[in-house]
Amino acid sequence: MPKFLSPAQIEQYREEGCVFPIRVMSEAEAAEHRARLEEFERQTGEPLKGDLRHKSHLLFVWLGKLVRRSAIVDAVEDLYGSDLLCWTTNFFIKEATDPAFVSWHQDSTYWGLSRPDVVTAWVAFTEANEANGAMEYIPGSHKLDQIPHRDTFAKNNLLTRGQEVMVEVDRSKRRIITLRPGEMSLHHVRLVHGSPPNPSTDRRIGFAIRYIPTSVAQVAGEDSATLVRGEDRHHHFVLEPEPSRDLDPEFVELHRTIAQRNAKILYRGTEIASYNEPRALAERA
């Protein structure tokens, strides 16, 4: 008996590789999440950037709670069972009239995870639709094996290596993931997906939470993850603590160490050693 998703939603995930919209909080709560992010940005005087966009659930209490939120984790449990890790989180923020985009790709390409049993809960803090650069995907493409990708390191590409699939994508087959604030989509790690720029006059903000069953391992180096449900009997990952106050110096230090270690996995085979480097290089170019 599923806890949160309907049998039809589970079937859609299995067949299409993506299911949406799924409401996980009210629109008012989504606006509060956006306000918390923007309060921090006001303090720093700039949009969230670099390392801070990744694994931010180790830095902010409200994001630590979000990755454990029962509506989200119940839905993930319906797909992958009751022993679950949050492997990582990534903010995908597109500013108003922003050329930033995400090329067609499969998430599995550089993550180094042992099996494609990985799901992303993409939680909308703002609307996401055709007018502001919502995600798009090719239904059923998650059933393909790993497709070869080329790295572009393109200036406005939000992906770590600007990676893109080395096959022609038939855009006429795409579906657009339209979400209201407080809704989420769930997509499979092998799904071919991407998103165009945001030409609208407001930001588009999504928080992507990557979940795996505890039986999935990291095969490309040492790694850590956050246990969000059940028990970890496999011990493939160092378990991460939950922050009890925002930007606790101990957590900031831990986050820095983890970000450096993760960059080694994600940029393996290149000279790049941190999330900040490709963007800095592109800005100087």
Pair of tokens at residue 126: 């703002």
**Using the rule CB under 6 A, is 78 a contact of ligand AKG?**
no
Phi-psi region of 269 (alpha: psi -120 to 50; beta: other; left: phi over 0): left
Residue type at 148 in one-letter notation: P
| Of the candidates 79, 95, 102, the residue with the CA atom closest to the CA atom of residue 6 | 79
| Minimum CB distance to ligand AKG smaller for 198 or for 226 | 198
Residue 159 C-beta: closest distance to ligand AKG, Å? 7
**Using the rule CB under 6 A, is 52 a contact of ligand AKG?**
no
Residue 111 C-beta: closest distance to ligand AKG, Å? 10
Residue 252 C-beta: closest distance to ligand AKG, Å? 24
In the block, residue with structure tokens 């997906």: 193
| Of the candidates 122, 9, 132, 2, the residue with the CA atom closest to the CA atom of residue 66 | 122
Q: Which of residues 134-153 bind ligand AKG (CB under 6 A)?
A: 135
**Using the rule CB under 6 A, is 102 a contact of ligand AKG?**
yes
Distance CA 90, CA 142 (A): 21
139 backbone dihedrals φ, ψ, rounded to 5° = -55, 135
Judged by CB under 6 A, the residue of 120, 157, 160, 163 near ligand AKG is 120
Judged by CB under 6 A, the residue of 122, 125, 153, 207 near ligand AKG is 122
**Using the rule CB under 6 A, is 206 a contact of ligand AKG?**
yes
**Using the rule CB under 6 A, is 165 a contact of ligand AKG?**
no
Judged by CB under 6 A, the residue of 80, 92, 137, 153 near ligand AKG is 92
Q: Which helix H or strand E contains 21, and what residues bound it? A: strand 18-23
Instruction: Please check whether residue 131 is in contact with residue 8, taking contact to mean a CB–CB distance below 8 angstroms.
Output: no
Residue 193 C-beta: closest distance to ligand AKG, Å? 6
Q: Tell me which residues touch ligand AKG (CB under 6 A).
A: 92, 102, 107, 120, 122, 135, 193, 195, 206, 208
